[in-house]
Structure 1
Amino acid sequence: MTKYLERYTRHIPHLRHERHERYAWVGCAVVALGLALASDLGPHRVWGAVAGAGYTIAAILACGARFRPAARTVAVVGAVVVPLVSLVASGLGQLEVTVVERSGQLLLTTGSPYVNDPTAVADFNPYLPGMAVFGVLPGDARWWTGGVFAAALVAAGLRRAWLFACPLVALPLAVGGIDLPVVGLMCLGVVLAGQGRSGRAGLVLGAAAALKWTAWPALPVALALIAVRRGSRPAVRFAAVALSTATAAVLPFALDNPSSFYRNVIAFPLGLTDTTSPAASPLPGHLLATCVAGGTVIALSLVSVSALLIGMSLVVRPPGTPRAAAVRLSLGLGLAMAVMPATRFGYLIYPLVLCALAYRKTQHESLPAARAVPVVSSREKALV
C-alpha cells in the first residue's frame, strides 16, 4: 500500500501549474464561504467570510500571468494574516487557545498543567505537558504555535505559499490550531534524520513528542530512516536523545498525579470519559463509536492494527529517504486518525503537510558515500 501511495502521489498536480491556479483559489473560496454559512462556531464564521474574500481576489489575480505571484501573497494575507489579527484583537478563538493558556497559568501557579478533577469539556487538557509552554509565553498562544509551525517548515525547506494558504492550514493558523507546531516539528525532525543529524533530529522529535501523542509515530519512522542511512550507532543516539527529551518533559507530571494525567491525556481524547469530546467529525472511527454497539472498542482495535501494520512495514521495508519516511508517516497517521473514536477533519493537516514535505522540490537527496543504500522510491468548542 505504501508503494502504491508513493507512486500515486507523484502525479498529484502542484498549484504551480499556473493555468489551473485560478481554479484552486476558486475552490478554496467556495470552501471558506461554505464554512462561514454552515458553521455554528463564531471564529470559523469570521475566518470563512474574511478568507473567502481573500481567495476570491487571489482567483481574480491568478487569471493574468503577471499577477499570479501576487495572487499567492493575497491568498496568504487574506486567509491567514487578516483573520488572525482580527480574531486575536477581538478575543475570539477555539477552545484550544483557552485550554493552552490556562494550562500555562496552572503550570506556573500549581506546578501542573492539569485540572485534578475535570468534569466539563473546558476543564480537560488533552495535550502533553510540553504544550503548556505556549501558554506561559506572553501574548496570545496562536502567535507562538503558528510561529513555531512556520519556522519549522522553513527550516525543513518547505517554503510554499500555497501550503500556508490552504484552508486546512490557514483555518487553524487563524482560529487556534494546536496541531500546527506538532506537525511542523515532525517535518523538521524527519529532514534532520535524513541528513544524518541524529542528535538534532532526536531533540526536535523529542520536543514534538512532549506536545501531543500524535507526534510519537514519528519516532520509530525516523529511527528506521537513520538506521538505514547511517547505521546502528547514530540510530541509538537518536533514540536516546528523543526518548530522554520526551520523558523529561512528560514523566514528572504523569508520576505526580497519575489519575489526573490519565483522565486528561489518555481517556478524554480516546472517548473513554463520561464527558464527550467535541472532536466529532463523521469519520469512520467516530461513526463506529457512536452508531455501533461496542464501536469504541472496535475503533481502538483498528487504531492498534494500523499502528502494527505500519510498524511491520518499517521492519520489512524501512524508508531509505526522507521522502519515503514522510510518506510512511503520512499514511500511518492518516489511517489512525480516520479510525480514532474521537476525531475531526482538522487532523487531515498531518497527512497534508507531510505529503507536501515528501514531494517538495529539492536538488537531490544524497546518501553518505560510506553507507549508501538503494533509494526506495469567543472561545468556542473545537477541543481535540
Structure 2
Amino acid sequence: MTRAASPVRPVVALSGPVTVSLPSSRRGTGRRWETLCWAACAVFALLLCLRTTLGPHQVWGSCATGGYGLAALVARLSARAWGRASAAVAVGGSVLVPLALLIADGARQLEVTVVERSGGLLLDSGTPYVPDPAGLRDYNPYLPGMALFGLPRAVLGDVPFADARLWFALVSLGAMGLAAALGRGSRSSGRGTARPLLLLAATPAVALPLAVGGVDLPVIALMCLALALAGRGGGPVVTGLALGAAASLKWTAWPLLPVGLALLAVTAGRRAAVRAGATAVTSAVLVVLPAALADPEAFTEHVLLFPLGEGGTGSPAASPLPGHLLATYVPGGFTLAVAALALSAVAVAGSLVTRPPRTTVAAADRLALGLGIAMCLIPATRFGYVVYPLVLLGWFRLGPAGRWWPVDRVTEAPRTHPPAAKPQED
C-alpha cells in the first residue's frame, strides 16, 4: 500500500540580497527627520545672511535660505526618505545658484583672488609668491601646488570657465566620489555615489565654501581619496601620489602622511608603506622645492611665518580658540601654544605606532582627532577649519555601506536553503 505523498513546497535558492521594506511609520519618521534637517539648514543660512558683513556670504545666505526651505518642502512631500530629489534641490539653491550669481558679478573671497594671482605669478616668475608683500592681499599662505588652480585664469583670461571656484569644486567632488567608490568596493557604481555626493555638497559647511571659494575642499577631498586607497591596500605608487598631491597644496594635509602610511602598512605591508611614503615625499618635494628655491625669503614669509601669525602682516585667521588666546593674552603664550601643538603631534604619532588604524574609518577618525587638536592650538586659526574633522568623521560613514546612511529599506545578507526533500514512499 502506498501512502499519498505529502505536498512538497517549492524552495527557491536565493543567490542575492533580500530587500525588506520597512513599515510606513518608519518611513514617515525618516521624512520628518529629513524635513527638520533641511529646515535647520535654512535657519542657519538666514541667520548668516542677516549677521555677516561679507558680500559673497550674504548672497550665499539669501540663496541658500530659499534652497534649503524648498528642499524641506520636497522632503515632506516625498514618498521616500532621504531621496535624491530634496538633496538636488538643496544643492541647486545652496551651491549652483549663488555660485553662478557670484561668478557673473565678479564677487569672490580673497582666497580665490590670491590663488588666481599665484597661477599667473608661477607662469611669469617660477614662484607663486609676491617678493615683498606689503599688505594682507599680497600674502599667499598656500603651498605651490595650490597655484595650479589659478592657471586656468592665467591662460584663458577673464572667462567664467577659468574661475578657480569651478576647479575647486570639480576636483573636490571628483575626488570624494572616487573615494566613496573605492570605499565600497568594485561593485559600486556612479549611481550609488550620486546621493552621498549630493548630501555632502548640500551640507552648509561644504556648500558655503563651494559657492564663495574655499581652498580647503580640494585638500580634504584628496586626503579622503588617499585614505580610501590606503584602506584598500592600493598600489603604493598610486597611494603615494594621492598623499603627495594633498601635501603639495597646504600644510594642513601633512598630518595625513603618517596616518595614511600607518593604515597602508596594515593593509598592504610595511614594504608598500615605505614605497608609498617615498613616492609621496618625492612628488610633494618636486612641486614645492622649485618655488622655495626660486625665492627662499618669500617662501618663508608667505608659507611659514604668515600662517603662524609671525609675518609682516597679521593673519586674519584669529578665531578665539585656545592657541590664539594663549598667543594673544598670555606672556610667552606663542611658545606655549607651539609646545602644546608639538606634544599633541607626538602623542598622535605614538598612537599610530602602538595602535595603528586597521580600517579607513579608524584612520579618518585618528586624522580628524589630530587635526582637531592642532586647529585648536595653532596660534593663527579660524572656525572654518572645522570642515576638516567634520568631513573626515562623516564621509566614510556616509553612503550605502556606511553606518550613518539614512535608508528606508533594509537589505539582508544572502540566504541559501538546502535542496527540498523528496517525498518518501512505503
2:133 alignment partner, SS class = coil
State the match for 1:128 in structure 2.
143
Quick check: 2:179–2:224 contact (8 Å CA) kept in 1? yes
1:311: which partner in 2? 349
Match of 2:374 among 314, 336, 343: 336
Q: Write the deviation string for residues 38-63 of structure 1: whole angstroms up to 9, x where unpaired.
A: 11111111111111111111112222
Q: For 2:101, which of 86, 111, 116 is the aligned residue?
A: 86
Q: Specify the alignment match of 2:166 in structure 1.
A: 143
Offset of residue 135 of structure 1: 0.4
8 A Cα contact 1:104 1:113, kept in partner: yes
Which residue is equivalent to 2:64?
A: 51
Q: Distance in 2 between matches of 1:295 and 1:20?
A: 45
Instruction: Tell me the alpha carbon deviations over residues 79-118 of structure 1, each in whole angstroms, 9 at most, x when there is no partner.
Output: 1111111111111111000000000000111111001111
Report matched runs for 1:129-208 at 5 Å.
129-138=144-153, 139-157=162-180, 159=193, 160=196, 161-197=198-234, 198-208=236-246
Distance 2:396 2:376 in 1: 21
Cα deviation per residue 1:188-216 (whole Å; 9 max; x = unaligned)?
00000111122111101101100001111
Counterpart among 255, 262, 282 of residue 300 in structure 2: 262
- Structure 2: distance between partners of 1:71 and 1:213: 36
Residue aligned with 2:307, SS: coil
Q: The residue matched to 1:93 in structure 2 has which SS?
A: coil
* C-alpha distance after superposition, 1:288-329 (max 9, x if no partner): 222333322222222212211111110110011111111111
Cα distance between partner residues in 2 of 1:45 and 1:284: 29
Q: Highest relative contact order (Cα 8 Å, sep 6+), 1 or 2?
A: 2
Unaligned stretches of 5+ residues in structure 1: 1-15, 365-384
> 1:113: which partner in 2?
128
Taking a change above 3 Å as real, the CA distance of residues 168 and 116 of structure 1, as seen in their structure-2 partners, is same
Asked whether the 8 Å contact 2:126–2:294 carries over to 1, the reply is no
User: 2: CA distance between counterparts of 1:293 and 1:60?
Assistant: 54
**Closer/same/farther in 2, CA of residues 285 and 73 from structure 1, 3 Å limit:** same
Q: Partner amino acid for 2:204?
A: P
**For residues 283 and 125 of structure 1, what CA distance do their matches in structure 2 show?**
23
Amino acid at match of 2:96: V
Distance 2:283 2:119 in 1: 19
Provide TM-score, normalisation by structure 2: 0.79
- 1:163: how far off? 1.6
8 Å Cα contact 1:61-1:67 kept in structure 2: no
Residue ranges of structure 2 left out of the alignment (5+ in a row): 1-28, 154-161, 182-192, 403-426
Give the alignment's TM-score, normalised by structure 1. Answer: 0.87
- 1:75 and 2:90 matched: yes
Question: Quick check: which has more Rg, 1 or 2?
Answer: 2
User: CA contact under 8 A between 2:323 and 2:379: conserved in structure 1?
Assistant: yes
Higher mean C-alpha displacement, 235-244 vs 66-75:
66-75
CA contact (8 A) 1:327 1:358 kept: no
1:356 is aligned to 394
Counterpart contact for 2:31–2:76, Cα < 8 Å: no
Change (3 A) 1:67 1:322: closer
Look up the equivalent residue of 1:169 and give its one-letter code: V
Q: What count of residue pairs does the alignment treat as equivalent?
A: 349
Shift of 1:167: 0.8
Give the share of equivalent positions with the same residue, in percent: 54
- 1:361 offset after TM fit, Å? 4.0
Change in CA separation of 1:45 and 1:67 when aligned onto 2, cut-off 3 Å:
farther
1:100 and 1:188 mapped to 2: Cα distance? 23
TM-superposed CA distance for 1:133, in Å, is 0.5
Mapped contact 2:323–2:337 kept (Cα < 8 A): yes
Calculate the aligned-residue CA RMSD, in Å: 1.6
Judge conservation of contact 2:31–2:80 (CA < 8 Å) in 1.
no
Displacement of 1:363: 4.7
Q: For the Cα contact (< 8 Å) 2:180–2:396, is it kept in 1?
A: no
Equivalent residue runs for 1:224-263 within 5 Å:
224-263=262-301
Q: Determine the structure 1 residue equivalent to 2:248.
A: 210
| One-letter identity of the residue aligned with 1:184 | A
Residue identity in the other structure for 1:79: S
> d(CA) in 1 for partners of 2:30 and 2:179?
23
Q: Tell me what 2:32 maps to.
A: 19
C-alpha displacement of 1:78: 0.5
Q: Which amino acid aligns with 2:113?
A: T
Q: Match of 2:41?
A: 28
Aligned to 2:186: none
Distance 1:101 1:218 in 2: 26
CA contact (8 A) 1:324 1:358 kept: no
2:309 to 262, 271, 275: 271
The letter of the residue matching 1:285 is: G
Separation of aligned partners in 1, 2:103 and 2:331: 42
Q: What letter is aligned with 1:122?
A: R
